Structure 1
Amino acid sequence: MSGMGLSLVDQLKTRMQWLQTRQKVLAENVANADTPNFRPKDLKPFELSAGGGGVRLEATSPGHLGGAAGGSAPGSRGAAKFETRPSGNAVSLEDEMTRLADTQMDYQTVASLYSKSLGMIKIAIGKKA
């Protein structure tokens, strides 16, 4: 499809695939909530690309983008978990269920946008939606 100039549809499709993979990783975290020494995993945040290449912000000073404040990146897992059990397991079911719900809502939103985009393409080529 990318040869037809449908980059929005391709981006939505890629986002849905990323969300499916994240759902699987988070479900594995929940499934291993009682496994000794298990550390929860997550995917790197999804980044949209524009025109085939990623769009990046460039900092001209170390303090410009807030990275100097010491905050963690969105989606990253903190190294020091206060809920690590004596068995070494660091899974917080509350955190995992929140991430699962967020992922599900994001997937439903992207799937709706994908469906509407395909409907607009059908209308543009003369087929009824």
Structure 2
Amino acid sequence: MSVTDLPIVAMLRNRMQWQQTRQKVLAENVANADTPGFRARELKAPRFQLDGSVAAASLPGIGLERTSGVHLAGSGQAAPSEERTGTRFEMMPSGNAVSLEDEMLKAADNQSDYQLASLLYRKSLQTLRTAVGR
């Protein structure tokens, strides 16, 4: 079994690949901000199975598991967050629905998420190296 086959490493690798693709989509949205009739696009976030592979859309994602009685029980629901499903501004006369402010906020969020995933990936590999004595 390869190190990259471990579930946590596979999930982090898949997450970083998704974030790279999302960054490209967000950059295309910004680049086409002046294109008449252009609508901003977004990628659907991946959902992972316990083995680290990407789950199909109809399958549930990773849930919380209480492995010990001394652990705090989680509710299984994410913390409330600001939804940016649509633009906060009116559509331009050209029919363009791209808000540069929203796209730049999404790009900044995506960049910080990618940095976190890459840090976790690197630390996971360092921990594995330490465990095998390197």
Among the aligned pairs, what percent are the same residue?
53
Supply the AA of the counterpart residue of 1:33. A
Q: What is aligned with 2:47?
A: 47
- Provide the C-alpha distance between the structure 2 equivalents of 1:41 and 1:50, rounded to a whole number of angstroms: 29
- Provide the C-alpha distance between the structure 2 equivalents of 1:5 and 1:28, rounded to a whole number of angstroms: 32
State the Cα distance separating 1:5 from its structure 2 match: 5.1
Query: Of 110, 119, 123, which aligns to 1:112?
Result: 119
- Provide the C-alpha distance between the structure 2 equivalents of 1:84 and 1:23, rounded to a whole number of angstroms: 23
Paired residue total: 109
Q: What is aligned with 1:56?
A: 60
Supply the AA of the counterpart residue of 1:98. L
Structure with the larger helix share: 1
Q: List gaps (5 residues or longer) in structure 1.
A: 58-73
* RMSD across aligned positions (CA): 2.5
State the Cα distance separating 1:46 from its structure 2 match: 2.2
State the Cα distance separating 1:102 from its structure 2 match: 0.2
Contact residue 4 and residue 10 of structure 2 kept, 8 A = no
Query: Of 120, 123, 132, which aligns to 1:125?
Result: 132
- Provide the C-alpha distance between the structure 2 equivalents of 1:31 and 1:117, rounded to a whole number of angstroms: 36
State the Cα distance separating 1:82 from its structure 2 match: 4.6
SS at match of 1:84: coil
Q: Deviations over 1:33-77 (max 9, x none)?
A: 0000000000012212213584628xxxxxxxxxxxxxxxx67x4
Contact residue 48 and residue 54 of structure 2 kept, 8 A = no
TM-score scaled by length of structure 2: 0.71
